[in-house]
Structure 1
């Protein structure tokens, strides 16, 4: 069975980003070459670290349960000093999806390498197991020349409920990181990464057939998320303040309370400029790590099947997103073929997880790994 390690596709990598672009994960190889990249906005200077070889399959981390306290006035508290409503409320249609994550159960590892001791319920923050949508149908296998972005519709690759759960998770993580200057200083790199991922999710929402309540302003949300990612580039009060302003604007748009005076978004803006591929690959690597933890034994897989379904959908969605023509190398058949296999395999894993079909889940995981190994023979990166 192939071992997941970072697989890379590295045309169009900014000079200030040195992290490998992980398509899903593949066998590590040394001595690689960097492809020529077009310049990127200089504001985004955070350098994500290269993904390290994945360890052997191990049981998922234990779950930390969250207890919400209600005071005499009826107000909810996460901790003695942090109220439940410290973050902006979700619109009604998203509150239902986010609330589904409050069910007790096992979850994946934290979205951050150093998660805070107290967390808000979400798929990335470990306190709960999300309720996932019904399995989406497995898309038809595309040819090598067929773009992965056309291989499946968004509703099959990334169901609306999964999109909303991922959005809620990232919002919680960003909100926690921006509580104080100190919390920001400890988490600014993760906040930047989450900002880029939020930008990609906003773009997906603008194209998704199952509209969110804020779909009309999805590209504005994209730009606010990009601003957040580009602000969280260094420690200090100035960067904290800039990131806080960007976060407040983003959350206001997502809450259907768009502030006046924001610049109109450019519908033709390149994904390469609004959703940094290296950051998206970081989220894909995290999904691959979590999925790897679930193939060790059937009992673990079945216990965390909802987590497996969510992470498989995220992996598929970001593989599809990063196969867009705005990114480098995507005009090559080998790249598109590998990306399409990751999309199809991710949807297949999600479907198997929804049906608690361990054998099929493992087979799809292996198929994705094989595609990544083959792709890695061509697309490499020099550390």
Structure 2
């Protein structure tokens, strides 16, 4: 199946081709035709399944076709709510890519920064607004945003919204939306609170469930070191110092661990920064920019903070701590080896992490190469 088979209009097809989007992912194949029919969707899908394109492409197409019917006003007609600044920025970037040959005006708003630039963009007139809940409510209360013309509403990563305490903000936003609209609800998991929220805002939704990704790209060279916990930091320093890789993403299980590893690396004169949920928005964005521009060689991240990190030609991913959820391993190492590029994924496994390794190998259906010597570089 191709995007043309999904009845995507030519300007979007051209933009997708330039981005080397050739074959729709399973969620795109299922969701796009339904959304183009203007039906509500309840989607159970994790980050990394291609859901941003699954909802962005149809929204751009529908708004473009509506404008061709002499509807040229610049009122907000689509709202995408997402939990973190990083995800909001990534979604906005995706709209820019898919919208390259059209003229759908969009912008992104989030907290943690001064509002002036965001307000200026809003006042120019936009059709698609990507927002985090807190800043959205703030600007609504100040009178800068009206949601009474919304036709398309996307609630993305609903379970993460719950985890981050945004569920009450969402309940304050919902009454401000028109009753007649198309709603797209996405969540990786469906705890009772999230299921109840979905039932309250969706109208006869089509349910889509995408099986968690379980395969790793052949372009990623995977290996593992069996190493005691106390030896991990020394091994990490050796690997980084003995390679010429310019961008290395290191995953740790905890926020405290991310900070500690970044400090250890900086002490070893390796330019590093940590990113996690306790960091301020400004600090997180600065760390991402420094990493993307090559100012920082190593970014140490937790899984939650890593949502939204999309760096082309990322060379290495290192699992300092093995994840206790096997699908998380696939998502982590999937940050490298993208778009046909080669990538390297190295994992450290302490004695108490061996059960995690067993589950990971069971999920991906292959044994990960064990490096016998800590000094050997893969």
- Hey, which of these two has a bigger chunk of helix by percent? 1
State the structure with bigger RCO (CA 8 A, min sep 6), 1 or 2.
Answer: 1
TM range (shorter): under 0.3
- Hey, which of these two has a bigger chunk of strand by percent? 2
TM-score, normalised with respect to structure 1: 0.26
TM-score, normalised with respect to structure 2: 0.26
